[in-house]
Structure 1
């Protein structure tokens, strides 16, 4: 595993490659972002983007969701992986928003993770993007980049990766580091035939 200084160097070089990297999900408010984040688990951004517009139009708020049914939600997201489970998550989390948070997406990690379908990664994305808080989300791209470049040990868990990054990088950069690593992992440090040596 790289030293703190060497790991910082790799991370800052990745950030230089993607100085303006931003979340590619389309959303207009925290509720829409919550739905997109739930849909994004084990799915491509492209597949989520294809269903988002109609989904958001049909379900502009949690009330519209619970007046529907998981089965109807399924009809809007059928092309996204694990759509049956995700329809249930959307329905249950919307019910929780109305029952426990007056219909608003909460802005603390603990409250977000109390929602069905929202784990640590999703909570961190919402904190960082919707609420502009310092948070670092660990997805499959971030995990691959960190392990490939020995920023963490090969057997590191998502929690350990989050702890390592947030320990060596100032909090104000956490959101940017996530977006840069996401883009780098998607385009350069790919699962097959990574081209990292051409850039780092």
Structure 2
């Protein structure tokens, strides 16, 4: 997209949703970090259901360490990969107590050094907890960036780099939230709801989906102009 189209793209998303934020529930930076780690290959809704009772009694790293891995597994057993995630959450809690005085660090490098924390998780925490202008690329952001032509890239890192270079102020802090929510509720993976998309005319996706009940028009196939073969009698 051109610069003016990118600005208009985010202006419309901002007008449609002036206060976007993560749908993961948390009470402080530590519980946000835990929730994001648990959300890998799981829905935000499932993480929220598991974490509501957990976060009523555990809101700090030392409390998580005291809870222990077995009890944590019992809290999060409805979430995919809960065994591995429980180990990582206990390990990262221990690291926070040991190396950071029980506080969540505010740099990407320190966050990514924690067990179970990748670049996307670090970007979410930096943005949501500390207001940094980061671009967390999950499956929704990756899809929207490529499908719309906003930030095409073959890898999440490539899409992130493209977003870093093109997203203008005043949209940088909330950009990844708009893209996540747009991908989750409008620009869906299987059937994007183009008929109600506020940026449909800016989008490079060609087979726009029509409203429910309306058939999608497909271009007529062009038949070959080659004449039909004819049998030639001999003898």
TM-score normalised to the size of structure 2? 0.78
Structure 2 unaligned spans of 5+: 201-235
What does the per-residue CA deviation read over 1:132-156, in whole Å, with 9 as the maximum and x for residues that have no partner?
A: 1221111111111111102233x52
Partner of 1:124: 123
Structure 2 distance, partners of 1:156, 1:197, is 27
Corresponding residue for 1:100?
A: 99
Deviations 1:16-45 (A, max 9, x none): 332222222211111111111111111111
Cα distance between partner residues in 2 of 1:49 and 1:171 = 31
For 2:139, the equivalent position in structure 1 comes to 140
Greater helix content: 1
Which residue number in structure 1 is paired with residue 62 of structure 2?
63
The question of whether the paired residues in 2 share the 8 Å contact of 1:43 and 1:81 is answered with yes
Compare relative contact order (CA 8 Å, sep 6+) and give the higher one, 1 or 2: 1
Give the whole-Å Cα distance in 2 for the aligned partners of 1:106 and 1:21. 24
Check conservation: 1:135, 1:171, Cα contact below 8 A: no
- Cα RMSD, aligned residues only: 1.7
Q: Separation in 2 of the partners of 1:9 and 1:45?
A: 29
CA distances 1:114-163 after superposition (whole Å, capped 9, x unpaired): 1111111111111111111221111111111111102233x521111111
Match of 1:157 in 2: 155
Q: Secondary structure at the match of 1:99?
A: helix
> Is the CA contact (8 Å cut-off) linking 1:15 and 1:181 kept in structure 2?
no
My pick for the range that moved more, 17-26 or 125-134, is 17-26
Does the residue aligned with 1:13 lie in a helix, a strand or coil? helix
- Structure 1 length-normalised TM: 0.91
Q: Residues 164-192 of structure 1, C-alpha deviation per residue, up to 9 Å, x if partnerless?
A: 11111136522311111111111110012
Contact 1:134 1:172 in 2 (8 A): no
> Do 1:134 and 1:174's aligned partners in 2 also have CA atoms closer than 8 Å?
yes
Check if 1:182 corresponds to 2:186. Answer: no
Query: 5+ residue gaps in structure 1?
Result: none
Q: Does 1:32 align with 2:31?
A: yes
**Bigger CA radius of gyration:** 2
CA–CA separation in structure 2 for the residues paired with 1:106 and 1:116: 13
Distance of 1:161 and 1:12 partners within structure 2: 20
Q: Secondary structure at the match of 1:81?
A: coil
Q: 1:106 to 1:172 in 2, by over 3 A?
A: farther
Q: Which runs of 4+ in 1 moved over 4 A?
A: none
User: Which deviates further from its counterpart, 188-197 or 168-177?
Assistant: 168-177
